[in-house]
Structures are given as structure tokens and as C-alpha cells.
Amino acid sequence: MGGGTVRDRPDQAADATHRPVRPGPRVQPRGVAGCLLGQPVPYTRAGRASRHKRGMDAVTNADAEGTPGPDPKGGADPAGERAEGTSEPSGARSDRRWLRWAAVGAAILVLAATGVGASLYLRFDNNITTDTGTAEILERYEEERPEPESHEAKNILIIGSDSRSGGNGKYGEDSGTARSDTAILLHLAADRESATAVSLPRDLMVTIPGCVSRQGEVEEEQFAQFNWAYQFGGASCTIRTVEELTDIRVDHHMVIDFKGFKEIVNAVGGVEVCLAEPVVDRDAKLDLPAGRQTLKGEDALGYVRARYALGNGSDTQRMTRQQEFLASLFQEVRSNGVLMNPAKLVPVLDSATSSITADEGLNSLTELYDLVRSVRDLPEEGVAFLTVPRQPYSQNPNRDELVQPDADRLFAMLREDRPVDVSNDPKPAEARPDEPIQDGTGEDVRGEPSPSPTYEGSTAEEDSCG
């Protein structure tokens, strides 16, 4: 029964009072698996021990958490035994036999349901590709990395790979390497009341530390475009580049490719966007009318990747469009009740887990669901999307460089787990000459906090159509 084992068969029901029904698989689905099963009978080690000790009656009594049963202090004797010298009406015996059969049948159904749930759980769990190599490489450079934060905030680096291998071959020739087409540093506040997603431009000029290459060789430190880090040394090099740039410890990372992105969007039923004018882009395979519309598959991918047919052709506007799309996706998941609806959740989980390569801290369904559950109740106005403050690079206007001290202030706010204010019309707070910012703490020399700046960006509650 889907991996479960029933020790007591119906033809052995007469002996059920002396033989416990053992639970199914040792893997006990929690969180998402519980959702897949509807409302399963809770299972605990203590409950299992009591069932071994007291037999089938323990299952039918209320001591099995969440499972109603006859009161052992009143009503039918749980062991089916009566005091000597008393008689039992035939109807009572019949009712007792019926209850016993019903209990056995219910136990079988529960085990069957648990087997199905465990099967789905293991399927999704095995879908996720674990990136163990990155952790091994990062361990070599542990002394150079920022210290882990003492609070419960989490920093997760999400990398969108432009690999053309496998199912992504239709998007261009496979050069044997991949670059990070998109990189977002997601900060989840310790109180889970806010989240900040910071896009890092692929063309941002940064110092890429000496990294272990994909061929196992150590590359020298170099000053180059940000997305070259992923090509040189994969996720480990990208993580170290982000940490050197921001002085923020990356707790977890996940990589998703083009094919995976499309499947996730399709699984939620598409994402609504708003276009001010029609868009035709052969390179991005786009032919879209103006106005509100729901994008799926190739159209969704083309929309977030298009660079020249939308806006001014800059990567800056493309990142803004990606942020708006993610905000709309966030709204779609919440409004359609995906997280609480097994019929919708199962295909989403199947697509998402099949598309993800993650570190060992996010490589199980339980860990991923715990992460999703922790942000499920985030207010939409508390989810901020922005791009790191940048400007055209002085040596090449087709590249970007950080705007200081704005960028360092932003990184300091994330390190200190402070909410980041965003607006489409930002008015950054500027420190007065006699109030220098020290160590990015946001406090002046007299200990008085300076006003928090407002960064250009949007929240998940904003409508791209206005």
C-alpha cells in the first residue's frame, strides 16, 4: 500500500486486541505531506510506544492524538472483557464486533492514505538535485567568509542559469558553460514579517575572488562582470562574489534554469502582467497585445528575458520587469490558495522540485516547505523588490557599478535585519556633513539614528497596470 505495511489482516481481527497495528513507513510526512493527505491521524513516537504496549484498543481510544474513541472508563470495555458473572446482550456483542471491524478498517485506510502521501513525499523529495560540491568548496574558504548572523534571519541566493544544456537547448548553442542570467539575494527577516529581494545586475563590475573553476583549478582574482562568476566557478564562486560585495553571509542557495521557470509558471496557471503597448520580439519569441493578460510557458520566459523589445533595452528595465513578474507570481500563489489546496499544490511541487538544484539545507521537501510556510503569511506590502543601487560604469557605459554610499547602506540594513523601504519615486535620506555614517550602522557620531533611505523598487502588493 504505497510503501506501508499492515501487520493485522482482516481475517486476524479476532486477535487484534493483542496485536498492534504498526504504522506505515518510518518517514513521517510533515507540513506539505500532511497537506497532501488532507487531515492525517497524527503520529508520534510516544503514541507508537503506547500502541505496542496496549494493543489495538489504544488506536480506538482518545489517547491517540486527534483520534476519537470510546472512553475506557465508561461504555464498552476496551479489551472486550466483562466482569465475571455478568451477561452481555447479543446486540452489544454485535456492536462490539462491528466497532472492532470498523477500527481495523479505519486503520487500513489510514495506512493506505499514509502510503500514498509518503509516495508523493519521496517522489518530490527525490526530484531535488543536491549541490554538495558547493559546500565542499566553500568550506575551504570558511575563514574568508562573513560570520553567520546571530539572529534567525535567512539570506538565500537565487540564481537563474542561462545554461543551454538538456531541455534548454532550444534557447541557443550550448557552449559547455553557463552564466547567471538572473541573481537575486533574498533576505527573510527573523520575525518573518518582511522579505527583501535584491536583484544583482549581470553586467555589474565586481571583484571576483580567486575561485575553484569547474575544472577544479584555482582561478586568480579578477575584476569582471558579475555573471562571469557563475561561468568560472559555478554557485560557489557566485556566492563568494556576493559575500565579498555585500559582506552578507549567504545561508542557502538554489539554481533554476529556463525549463524549470516555465514549468513552475505553468503549474500555478500562469501569471498576469500588464503591457502598455504591444510587444513583438523574434529573439524572445514574443508576440503579445497590449493590456492585461496571463502569460504561460514560452511567453512568460520570453517576457522576463526580453531586453530590446521592451522599455529602453537596458538590463535595468529587464530586472524591473522580472521583479514585477515575481510579485505577480507571489500574488497568484496566495490568491489561488495554492499552498493550502492539494489539487493545485501537487503540480506546483512537482515542477518546482524537479527544477531546483539546492544546497543541503534546502534539498528536502520538508525544508523547502518549512521555508515556504514561514513566508506564507507575509503581508504583500512587506515583500520588497529592488535592484542594488547602481549607475553606468565610468569606463564602459554598457556596464554597471555600485552607487555609494547607497549600496553599502542597503547591505548594512540587510545585515542588521532592518526592513527596507522602497518606492517608485524614492527620496533617499542623506546624512548631513556633520553626521557621517559609521560602519553602515545608520547612527551618527552622537549616537542619533539617521533617517532610513528609501530605495527605488516596488512591493508585492503593487499592480503593474497602476
pLDDT digits (tens, 9 = 90+) for 336-387: 667 677 777 788 888 888 888 999 888 887 887 777 777 777 888 888 999 9
Where in the sequence is the domain holding 37, given as residue range(s)? Answer: 10-127
Q: Do 351 and 455 reside in the same domain of the chain?
A: yes
Total-model pTM? 0.68
SS (H, E, C) 395-452: CEEEEEEECCCHHHHHHHHHHCCCCCEEECCCCCCCCCCCCCCCCCCCECCCCCECCC
| Structure confidence at residue 115 (pLDDT) | 53
Q: Do 82 and 168 reside in the same domain of the chain?
A: no
Nearest partner of 245 among 157, 181, 321, judged by Cα: 157
| Structure confidence at residue 267 (pLDDT) | 85
| Structure confidence at residue 221 (pLDDT) | 94
Q: Tell how far CA 127 is from the center of its chain.
A: 14
Q: 320 in a domain, yes or no?
A: yes
- Cα separation, 345 vs 129, in Å, equals 20
Q: Do 62 and 166 reside in the same domain of the chain?
A: no
| Structure confidence at residue 404 (pLDDT) | 96
- Cα separation, 234 vs 183, in Å, equals 12
- Decide if 57 contacts 17 (C-beta within 8 A): yes
| Structure confidence at residue 106 (pLDDT) | 52
| Structure confidence at residue 305 (pLDDT) | 82
Q: Do 56 and 190 reside in the same domain of the chain?
A: no
Q: Do 197 and 329 reside in the same domain of the chain?
A: yes
- Cα separation, 415 vs 411, in Å, equals 6
SS (H, E, C) 118-143: HHHHHHHHHHCEECHHHHHHHHHCHH
Among residues 127, 159, 174, which one ends one of the domains?
Answer: 127
Q: Do 139 and 104 reside in the same domain of the chain?
A: no
| Structure confidence at residue 366 (pLDDT) | 80
Among residues 127, 158, 191, which one ends one of the domains?
Answer: 127
| Structure confidence at residue 437 (pLDDT) | 44
Q: Do 40 and 151 reside in the same domain of the chain?
A: no
Q: Do 57 and 187 reside in the same domain of the chain?
A: no
Q: What are phi and psi of 362, to 5 degrees?
A: -130, 20
Residue 456: strand pairing partners = 423
| Structure confidence at residue 83 (pLDDT) | 44
Q: 68 in a domain, yes or no?
A: yes
Q: Do 218 and 358 reside in the same domain of the chain?
A: yes
Counted domains in the chain: 2
| Structure confidence at residue 452 (pLDDT) | 66
- Cα separation, 190 vs 356, in Å, equals 24
Please list the ranges in the chain whose pLDDT falls under 70: 1-117, 162-180, 308-315, 335-337, 339, 426-452, 463-466
Residue 179 CB-half CA count within 13 A: 10
Among residues 74, 101, 127, which one ends one of the domains?
Answer: 127
Q: Do 264 and 197 reside in the same domain of the chain?
A: yes
Q: Do 137 and 118 reside in the same domain of the chain?
A: no
Kindly tell me the number of DSSP H helices and DSSP E strands found in the chain.
12, 17
